[in-house]
Structure 1
């Protein structure tokens, strides 16, 4: 079997994911306001929900990764916004329809989650990633057994 070619892509956070999280946070506040709690509990808990939503959305919108690459030798490299190139390892991945979620670990900056969706990446890149990640599936499933 010939080795798989290297895959490289620029990364920017998905604006659609941010919008979905914002809508979910708004619905959570609406559910809280329509609940049977007393009015002072509603006023007290609404900011808590909003702060939790902001703390969840902020890291997604301020990713320090600007590009990623998967070499033919199965090595990952992350290009950071500070123009550093860091070696990384694939911690885990999930493929959900057209979405690809990668969790990459670096020694210097910890774990980075990259969500590749139709609004922030090319369909061909996602297809190539899905195909190459599918070759890792048998190894992962046999390790769990």
Structure 2
């Protein structure tokens, strides 16, 4: 469906009465947006994230697989959102946005408090092979 709608958009641009240079730019922008949408939709889906007391992260994927991850950076946007950038060994980086529509306010509050300790001088771990999603207790964050 995405490719069909993209082709219709390109066809509309090509049939319009705008200058050729603008047509080329719009077709290029449509192709780039389509490529980004396809790339985003084919990424593995993260169902849960866990952060252990020792700093190790784990991601539970939609397939049920638990993968160790390393926190590379984070951003806190007030009380509403936390943006995490995690690196998973042998895979692409994963960005997680924890916002009111996908996470509990208490979880975000506890996460902001733990991340504040990293801001106060503790460094992000260089690497981590430890996981935090014990099957018996589930995610910790």
Under a length normalisation based on structure 1, what TM-score does the superposition of the two structures give?
0.62
State whether structure 2 residue 53 is matched by structure 1 residue 72. Answer: yes
CA distance in 2: counterparts of 1:140 and 1:59, whole angstroms = 34
Give 1:58-97 correspondences, 5 Å limit: 58-64=38-44, 65-97=46-78
Query: Which aligned runs of 4 or more in structure 1 are off by greater than 6 angstroms?
Result: none
CA distance in 1: counterparts of 2:39 and 2:48, whole angstroms = 17
Quote the offset at 1:61 in angstroms.
4.6
Question: Secondary structure in 1 aligned to 2:93?
Answer: strand
Among 83, 90, 106, the residue aligned to 1:101: 83
Give 1:1-145 correspondences, 5 Å limit: 39-64=19-44, 65-97=46-78, 98-139=80-121
Under a length normalisation based on structure 2, what TM-score does the superposition of the two structures give?
0.64
For structure 2, list consecutive stretches of 5 or more residues without a partner in the other structure. 1-12, 124-141
Q: Give the alignment's Cα RMSD to 1 decimal.
A: 2.3
CA distance in 1: counterparts of 2:63 and 2:33, whole angstroms = 27
How many correspondences in the alignment?
A: 105
